[in-house]
Amino acid sequence: MLHIGCHLSSARGFAAMGRQALDIGADTFQFFTRNPRGSRAREADPADAAALTALLREKAFAPIIAHAPYTLNLCAADEERRSFAREVLSDDLHRMELLPGQYYNFHPGSHVGQGTAAGAAHIARALNAALWPGMTTTVLLETMAGKGSEVGGRFQDLREILDQVELAEKVGVCLDTCHVSDAGYDLIGDLDAVLTEFDRVVGLSRLKAVHLNDSLNPPGSRKDRHARIGEGCIGTEALARVVRHPALRNLPFCLETPNELPGYAAEIALLRRLAE
């Protein structure tokens, strides 16, 4: 069975998101660990987290994804910004242990002129400082659109980070369909070739989750503007091939399309039909 869900608001707490996911036919979901643009984390409620953990188990959810704030930049040029980002990462990962065994996804960051190699080194150092052997979370590097000086627009960027991470078994990758197409990979015309390239450079065993989004812009545009399924340049057919692909079909898929809950429910139902 296809594992699919969408991004949900965490405003009403953990267990509320689990119930909301069930209401719209989802068996996974994603949420921001804190205000996506700001930095303050809500006080985590262990009882609420335990209630969600029980619900996830009872309803056989696929792993859920906590998403770091967009502003987190582990490879900022300014040491003060990097050190702030490292604190956020470390704090988030410790909180994640309230929801054992789930995923924590982050944007590698923007190297702002330092170059990809320097950026990858900063990111790996931050991970080496934040990860610990007993943690139960798997941390995911997201494939990016390659906007500006973003690290992660090429699979090779992710390889460079992974090569320098000590606890490599704690780190995987989340593939975003909008980002990969915007970055110039031919997701529309030749999905097999894209996955073969991913396997060669990163390794398919590292791929833990997929962000399923259409794109407002054509391949290679490096824009990162998400569209609803079938309302963008990737299109329903190409996205159906993604959810049906044998190398991907057991992964959790998460919609980050511009939708309210009814729109998400409709896309989830559509993709479940297309995956059959």
- Of residues 181-220, which lie at the interface with Zn ion (CB under 5 A)? none
CA-based R_g, the chain, Å: 17
Distance CA 18, CA 237 (A): 29
Please pick, among 176, 182, 214, 267, the residue that the annotation labels catalytic: 176
Near Fe ion by CB under 5 A, which window of 118-126, 143-151, 210-218, 229-237?
210-218
Helices (H) then strands (E): counts for the chain: 9, 12
- Of residues 142-161, which lie at the interface with Fe ion (CB under 5 A)? 142
Least CB distance from residue 210 to Zn ion, whole Å?
13
Residue 3 among the catalytic residues: no
Distance CA 123, CA 129 (A): 10
Which of 3, 34, 170, 211 lies at the binding interface for Fe ion (CB under 5 A)? Answer: 211
Residue 7 among the catalytic residues: no
> Could you give the angle at the alpha carbon of 84 between the alpha carbons of 226 and 11, nearest 5°?
50
Write down the H helix ranges in 165-260: 177-182, 191-201, 235-244
Tell me whether residue 150 or residue 224 sits nearer to Zn ion (CB atom).
Answer: 224
Tell me whether residue 27 or residue 224 sits nearer to Zn ion (CB atom).
Answer: 224
- Of residues 220-249, which lie at the interface with Zn ion (CB under 5 A)? 224
Main-chain phi, psi angles of 242, to 5 degrees: -65, -50
Distance CA 230, CA 172 (A): 28
- Of residues 158-177, which lie at the interface with Fe ion (CB under 5 A)? 176
Comparing CA positions, the residue from 81, 90, 154 lying closest to residue 127 is 90
Please pick, among 142, 150, 160, 182, the residue that the annotation labels catalytic: 142
Please pick, among 154, 224, 264, 267, the residue that the annotation labels catalytic: 224
Residue 70 among the catalytic residues: yes
Q: Which residues are known catalytic residues?
A: 37, 67, 70, 107, 142, 176, 179, 211, 224, 226, 256
Give contact residues for Fe ion (rule: CB under 5 A). Answer: 142, 176, 211
Sites of contact with Zn ion (CB under 5 A)? 224
